[in-house]
Amino acid sequence: MKTKFMIVAACAAMLLATGCKDEKQNQPESIIGNTPKPTWVAPENYDLSSSMTAIVRIDLKSVYTDEQLAAVDYKRASDDLLAAFAGETCLGVGDWKEENNAYWLYIVAPENADEITIKHYSASLKHIFVSESIPYSNGTNLGTVEKPYNPKWTVAQ
């Protein structure tokens, strides 16, 4: 009985000394988020407006490792969204046009905002990406079908 106790104690000491290895430690952290699809709604009661034709090109390699990127299938999905914001106020929600591979966004504002940000929800990654601040004035068109606007993005909100 004493021998069994000594063996168990020796095994326990070895485990404590070497540590328990979790196989998950060697796996890359997933970049799939847990953000549900936003319920952004464009306002309807404002007279001031602008438009934007934009593309979404996010350099995920600048933030994630090749191993992390290999574990996901990042692609455009019908559940993706693009919206314009002044602070937390939604100014418009865009539709993705497959034939142009671009979003068309109609932006309305209660007053002339000096700058806006664009938010992109990726359904495949379950993340919201946010653009840098964009100078804004009503009555302008940002981007065209031939030359869509390409915001600079930060990775996650």
Higher pLDDT among residues 88 and 112, named by residue: 88
Q: How confident is the model at residue 110 (pLDDT cuts 50, 70, 90)?
A: low
CB 126 within 8 A of CB 34: yes
Q: In this predicted structure, what is the pLDDT of residue 13?
A: 45
pLDDT in tens, 121-148: 988 888 899 999 988 888 888 999 899 9
Listed residue (30, 34, 102, 39) closest to 73, CA to CA: 30
> What is the pLDDT at residue 12?
44
Q: What is the pTM of this model?
A: 0.75
Residue 10 scores a pLDDT above 50: no
pLDDT reported for residue 154: 79
State the chain's mean pLDDT as an integer. 77
What pLDDT, in 10s, does the model give residues 50-91?
889 998 888 888 777 888 888 777 777 778 899 999 888 899
The pLDDT value given to residue 92 = 92
Whole-number Cα distances in Å, 110 to 37, 39, 93, 116, 131: 25, 20, 15, 13, 21
- pLDDT of 58 reads 84
135: which residues sit within 8 A by CB, 6+ positions away? 114, 115
